[in-house]
Chain A
């Protein structure tokens, strides 16, 4: 036992010695996201938005350099995310953590984030319960219920009576399905069927044939983005659109996928917290800088907004408390904070540390030969409904 203790002490001592301690005026921010594999575009967009932010605001705050360290989790991999978080906290001695494309990765780091009192900004993971798992979590993206409820309500208000939902067969899909069905039924509508489509599906036609058989007014879909989403919308366009079945969704018409889907998406209505065509100076600057720095086809997207606003939070914390800012200081500072984002006005909820923001109802239209989402209605400052329904 004594030997064990001695070894442990040696280990700890050497950990201190070997770990990279940051000099007083460098603040390290660790970003755990996906940079390789099928979801590599998320990490790419995070990095691009962060680079734009740092170009616009400089790479230092009051003389303190903000050093962003990127680590690849490779996809939904809670064990890897945890290891990376441990490395970043213990070895790199970061003062902020950020990133987290996937909910399982965010959930996995909750306990070490709490133990290390590490202020952590969630750039994307959208399952409602995430911010409950650690008092040091703050979210700058959205929750699925938050953006799903408005579209369900809009649908019913606009004459939709019969709906079929088709979601990808994984937890975020179930969330979307649950909240759409609940909201739509409560308003008085009818849900004919709820279909769950395996994530690995390449051919969506059998599911859509079932939909065609039942002839709803609307098909509501939820997909993970990328090839499956493109497939879901394209198959709708070839099978169901000619039969007059409309499509409703949330993030699926996001700007990064829209050109791949093509003109068949024209007229599709969705609800989301970030629309690339939102007309405010921050968004315009973000888009302009993205195209200037990364090519004319770069578009801002929900990933960009999440990362960009997270950097704003971090910069403000360092500006206010200096380079030795603690987790408690940062979290306390961020709670209840209202700020402007490229997406519009946002607020970090005082108690839940989750995001309160506008949800836009928008339609896919063509502008200057390009397909874009154009807002036509705004639901202002929507809170996360799940938290309101499940108080702690």
Chain B
């Protein structure tokens, strides 16, 4: 990863280290800038932040651990419904609901992982698809609990920390989601750089060899999958709490496919790939749909094809190009 190489190679030059830190702060500064400047776009911005978190969770499972999943929306939706049902029936405190939804989704992820992670490749992909389809069917039928096809309308959340009301214009929501994303991204950063994360790297590249050196591959995968599920569950819960509506679409194959597209678009295994991909996709789709509600797919499709044809690993490749232009060639990253 270029950041790692940057830290190592530029550690000798204190200016470089500061530069790297500034680069890391950049996305967060941008997010705060959006908050201050683009007040009318806060709901779009909140949605983008939630998608970033969702894509980041997928990067942990897919990009890092190599678990090919076409059903990650199962966890997003699970978290969304968990938070929605919790708020409706038990307590509308947002933080409590968030924690409960995250933990429940993580446990669900572990359960699913235990069930299917002994398989690999296309089989695993099909199984993730099947699980998410079955969950969606269950949500459709259990309409006493989930509202079924009509969706779940969640009551208004209690003020955050008892102080900050969730206002109509979405100010509290935006900062709330941003904070949650910040926390999880720190956690993800730590995970990806820990020995555990490194072992996931190895498992993705060559599970047989990892087994040969004694790594408990299956156990690691289940843990990774559970963490990824928890992260996705937080994203879903945030969406349920901020938009106060959960629909079956949150569990759909299209949702799984879209987040996958966002991640690949941005670049897998590049920390900010999820950030770039999700933001670009959400923003471009919104504006394209405004220009032409019928044919926005055309614009998105062309964009996706162009990114694959001209960039090596997603939009993050553009950042690399810019980096090379500014600093000259540096050693290849992660």
Contacts and interface: CB of A to CB of B under 8 A. Distances in A.
Contact of B290 (A44, A71, A116, A174): A71
Contacts of A174: 143
Contact of A12 (B37, B39, B44, B164): B39
A185 B147 CA distance: 27
Contacts of A11: 35-36, 39, 42, 169, 171
B213 interface: no
B150 A104 contact: yes
Contact of B47 (A19, A40, A83, A127): A83
B25 interface: no
B37 A169 contact: no
A379 interface: no
Contacts of A77: 247, 249
A217 interface: no
A170 B149 contact: yes
Chain B, interface size: which category?
35 or more
B293 A108 contact: no
B329 to A, nearest CB: 41
A78 B247 contact: yes
B244 interface: yes
Interface in A56-94: 70-72, 75-83, 86-87, 90-91
Contacts of A8: 171
Contacts of B246: 78-79
A79 B244 CA distance: 8
A43 interface: yes
Contacts of B243: 78-79, 82-83, 108
A389 interface: no
| Chain A contact residues, majority secondary structure | helix
A79 B153 contact: no
A198 B140 CA distance: 10
A170 B148 CA distance: 7
Contacts of B250: 79
Contact of B170 (A35, A36, A81, A86): A86
Contacts of A373: none
Nearest to A127: B150
A75 B293 CA distance: 12
A36 B243 CA distance: 22
B150 A107 contact: yes
Nearest to B35: A11
Contacts of B163: 1
Residue of B37, B149, B249, B295 with highest tally of chain A CB at under 10 A: B149
A115 interface: yes
B151 interface: yes
A171 interface: yes
A339 B261 CA distance: 49
Interface string B285-298: 00001100111110
Chain A, interface size: which category?
35 or more
Interface in A148-162: none
A15 B40 contact: yes
Nearest to A224: B149
A14 B35 CA distance: 10
A43 B170 CA distance: 28
A72 B47 contact: no
B59 interface: no
A372 B243 CA distance: 43
A31 to B, nearest CB: 9
A107 B248 CA distance: 14
A18 interface: yes
Interface string B150-167: 110100100000011000
B38 interface: yes
A108 B168 contact: no
Contacts of B140: 169-170
B245 A79 contact: yes
Given A36-B293, A43-B293, A76 B249 contact: yes
A4 interface: yes
A127 B153 CA distance: 15
Given A14-B39, A15-B39, A87-B43, A104 B247 contact: yes
A282 interface: no
Nearest to A7: B36
A337 interface: no
A112 interface: yes
Given A83-B243, A104-B150, A43 B294 contact: yes
Given A80-B249, A81-B245, A108-B247, 12 more contacts: A7-B171, A8-B171, A12-B171, A18-B39, A36-B295, A40-B294, A72-B296, A76-B149, A78-B243, A79-B243, A108-B243, A127-B150
9 contacts: A1-B163, A11-B171, A36-B295, A76-B247, A77-B247, A77-B249, A80-B249, A107-B151, A169-B140
Interface of B: 35-44, 47, 137, 140-141, 143, 147-151, 153, 156, 163-164, 168-171, 239, 243-250, 289-290, 293-297
